[in-house]
Amino acid sequence: MYDKFKRRIHYLRISVTDRCNMRCTYCMPAEGVKLISHEDILSFEEIHEIVSVAAVMSVDKVRLTGGEPLVRRNITTLVKMLSGIQGIKDLAMTTNGSLLKNLALPLRQAGLHRINISLDTLNKEKFRRISRGSEVDDVLEGIKAAQSAGFPIIKLNCVIHEDIDENDINDVKEFALREGLQARFIRKMDLENGEFSIVEGGSGGNCDICNRLRVSSDGKIYPCLFNDRYFHIRDLGIKEALEKAVICKPESGTVSKNKLYNLGG
């Protein structure tokens, strides 16, 4: 699929849940957020159908995100369902890593190709503060499990914000180097105020080469993270929602009320 600005749109980022077991300060308020009701959350069958239709329309890359994708029950079943879809060459996930210890191998065996793990700092105290109570050691064990499970590419996502200093950045860089991982750095974004960031070491945040659509956990297709417009698959059907989202993809992002915990960053 090509949009009006001749960009090839072939990447779908799917939020499989708006729930999360962390409360990162730059992502969510401490008290959590108003959750989408369970009956409105896309079923695995619906997600499978969306990806199947998108694959016919030449989407070849899918990323599962959230919320935290690993809190979605039986997530490995979904991965298995999606990995069997013809045309999907790249099936990836972005996770906070805290539940990966027990899930890395099943996910790999289910057909997940690549994994990005969020890690802002190796400092235990700081990690607890930023995540409002989670343990960096759980994430480190998750990373180890992903390495043992044989993921060929493991990327670390590090958000640079007011609590992160040069030491944290260097620690993550050195850790990545030592462990053979790739580190990507992104500045904290504020969608409502139009502050967005190019991903250092990645392709996100650059409107000229944007190749993606986003699917919220309740089935809305968003052409752009920095724009409020969406097309609901339950109103329009999958094909029409995808087509409309491509046609209406803006040349560049502006501002939006979207939240990263809802659309997966």
Judge whether 146 and 117 are in contact, CB under 8 Å: yes
CB of 27 to ligand SAM, least distance (A): 4
CB of 265 to ligand SAM, least distance (A): 2
Q: What is the per-residue burial (b if ≥16 Cβ within 10 Å, else e) of 51-60?
A: bbbbbebebe
Stretch that binds ligand SAM, among 49-57, 65-73, 126-134, 200-208 (CB under 6 A): 65-73
DSSP-derived letter for residue 48 is H
Is residue 24 near ligand SF4 by the rule CB under 6 A? yes
In the sheet that holds 154-160, the strands lie side by side as 182-187, 154-160, 114-118, 90-95, 61-65, 11-15, 212-215, 220-222, 231-232
Binding marks (x or -) toward ligand SAM, 43..62, rule CB under 6 A?
Answer: --------------------
Stretch that binds ligand SAM, among 79-87, 139-147, 183-191, 209-217 (CB under 6 A): 183-191
Enter the tokens of residue 44.
């695995």
The entry of ligand SF4, ligand SAM, none that residue 28 binds, CB within 5 to 8 Å by partner kind: ligand SF4
Number of residues that bind ligand SF4 (CB under 6 A): 12
Report the residue from 17, 118, 131, 134 that binds ligand SAM according to the rule CB under 6 A: 118
Is residue 27 near ligand SAM by the rule CB under 6 A? yes
Helix (H), strand (E) at residue 64: strand 61-65
Report the residue from 9, 61, 68, 104 that binds ligand SF4 according to the rule CB under 6 A: 68
Enter the tokens of residue 182.
């790739």
Q: What share of the chain is helix, strand, coil (3-state, %, to 5)?
A: 35, 20, 45
Report the residue from 189, 215, 224, 238 that binds ligand SAM according to the rule CB under 6 A: 189
Query: Is the N-terminal amide bond of 67 cis, ω within 30° of 0?
Result: yes
CB of 34 to ligand SAM, least distance (A): 16
DSSP-derived letter for residue 114 is E
Report the residue from 157, 216, 227, 256 that binds ligand SAM according to the rule CB under 6 A: 157
Is residue 22 near ligand SF4 by the rule CB under 6 A? yes
Is residue 219 near ligand SF4 by the rule CB under 6 A? no
Report the residue from 12, 14, 27, 225 that binds ligand SF4 according to the rule CB under 6 A: 27
Is residue 175 near ligand SAM by the rule CB under 6 A? no
Q: Distance of CA 36 to CAs 40, 108, 159, 259, Å?
A: 7, 29, 26, 13
